[in-house]
Amino acid sequence: MQIKRFILGFLIFIIPVFPVYSQTRKARKAIKKSERVEENSNRTYERGRKDAIKQRYKIQTNEVQKRMKQSKKKADRYNKANRQPFYKDLFDRKKKHKRRKR
């Protein structure tokens, strides 16, 4: 008897919640499509950026390439040591503003 009351109370509580948060099929499709388009544009931007960096590296002389490589390693080592732990970002009270892409 106690279990039946619990299940009945649970169903009465849950059933009204679902229709409130549901979206129409067209809205979900539109959101998915916009996310795909944004992800695709981000991917092409990153590919172009990587290609540009490779091109800049290739046009340098060997001596300059060595210096670039050393400075990159040094910067990576420095930045890795001074990076904040991931849990500080999770529990940070201040909201970080997202940078707008142009």
Residue 39 CA neighbour count, 13 Å, CB half? 6
* Domain boundaries defined on the chain: 24-59, 61-91
pTM over 0.85: no
- Per-residue pLDDT tens for 39-79? 999 999 999 999 999 999 999 999 999 999 999 999 999 88
More confident residue, 9 or 22: 9
* DSSP labels, 16-33: THHHHH---HHHHHHHHH
Angle at 79 between CA 87 and CA 76, to 5 degrees: 125
CA angle 15, 7, 23 (to 5 degrees): 20
